Amino acid sequence: MRAGCALLLIDVIHPFEFEGAERLHRRAARIVEPTRRLAAEARRAERPVIYVNDNFGRWRSSFEELVERCEEGRGAEMVRALDPKPSDLFVLKPHRSGFYCTPLELLLADLGCEELVVAGLTTDMCVLSTVSDARMRDMQVTVVEDACEALDDERHETALSLMRLSHDARVVKAEALSATS
């Protein structure tokens, strides 16, 4: 990650409270360590770490309340491993894209960020929607494939291919990104 670059962590603080959540929870365990390393590296380089999370229809919620809720359920292991810091930033979103009806675009402009590194859940829904909207705003985007996950391999691979081909996103493994930081 370079100057003017932010790390977006999409829906990684997650309570996994929906039908079929057990399957996503199992698959999400694979992204915990690469995502934790990305966040630690970004913090060391003094680059913004921005958690972009659904508020699950809780219109009076805050990120702190979401973290507390997740600490009590299936998402507890992920919350403990990622350990959001007071210096991290948070955006709650009402739908899939991190940009839709949120202050994310203004926040990134205020931070001077023109490039994003994106990781999170799910590759084919919220990650894809956020990447699409970032590219419509002429931002450079890198998607960290082993720090993203979907409900199955086909959805994950199809979304990565789409982001690479249709959105001109750079798709890399976390290790390759670390080597170029």
> By the 8 A CB rule, do 143 and 174 touch?
no
The rounded distance, in Å, linking the Cα atoms of 135 and 170 is 11
> By the 8 A CB rule, do 20 and 150 touch?
no
- Three-state secondary-structure class, residue 37: helix
pLDDT tens-digit profile of 23-34?
A: 999 999 999 999
> By the 8 A CB rule, do 151 and 20 touch?
yes
pTM of the model: 0.93
pLDDT tens-digit profile of 121-140?
A: 999 999 999 999 999 999 99
pLDDT tens-digit profile of 38-60?
A: 999 999 999 999 999 987 677 67
CATH superfamily of 5-180: Isochorismatase-like (3.40.50.850)
Q: Which pLDDT does position 1 carry in this prediction?
A: 45
In sign, the C-alpha dihedral spanning 57, 58, 60, 63 is negative
What's the whole-number average pLDDT of the chain? 92
φ, ψ for residue 84 (rounded to 5)? -50, 135
